[in-house]
Amino acid sequence: MGCMDYSPSAWPRRLLLASVAFVAVVISFYLALFEWQVIHTVWDPVFKNGTRNVLTSQLSHDFSKWIHIPDAFLGTLAYLADVIFALIGSTKRWKTHPWLVIIFGISVIPVGIVSIILVALQGLVVKSWCFLCFITASISLILIFLAYAEVMASCRFLATIHKMGSVSLAWKAFWGCPTQISESAAQSILNREKK
């Protein structure tokens, strides 16, 4: 793949990310339906009543009281944000709309870390495991992996502009205002990726 062909914001990776995140949307919404008591059973082929124990635990209730919605629905919203942010913008968004890519990264990476922490708390605090929660935590790790290159490209792009110019030029580039320096910085990053 030539330098001009490479894009950290290429569609194949973003479409894969959106598809995987959509699976997590469906799973977390299913779990939220159980927490809302819309459905009365929850599927768990591995831990049997483990998912029920986790979703009806005091930890889950306390967390839901704190955020005022079922914790699984918070996951639904977070994964839906990942789908939306993955689909917004062109293949040049890493350099034309870095703010969007940074928000995307903030959506994917911290949410993934929180998902992993919540799964760890299941065993440590609740003393039970949720199979579908393991699946969504695994999906979170996949999403981090898929988003990382684009987010890092935008960060390197802004850091390169800062080194070549100034904070004000980096700030303009962050909001998508092109300059000669930003074009030079983008080309520099693409040249590095080509190697």
So where are the chain's domains? 11-150
| 11-150 is a CATH 3.30.70.2740 domain | no
Q: How many CB atoms lie within 10 A of CB 5?
A: 9
Helix H segments across the chain?
A: 11-35, 50-55, 58-67, 71-87, 93-96, 98-121, 131-164, 167-174, 180-194
Which residues in the chain land under pLDDT 50?
Answer: 1-3
Measure the CA–CA gap between 55 and 145, rounded to whole angstroms: 28
Q: Report the pLDDT value the prediction gives residue 2, as an integer from 0 to 100.
A: 45
Task: Read off the pLDDT of residues 13-68 as tens digits, 9 standing for 90 and up.
Answer: 999 999 999 999 999 999 999 999 999 999 999 998 999 999 998 888 888 888 88
Q: Report the pLDDT value the prediction gives residue 153, as an integer from 0 to 100.
A: 94
Tokens of 180: 């000669």
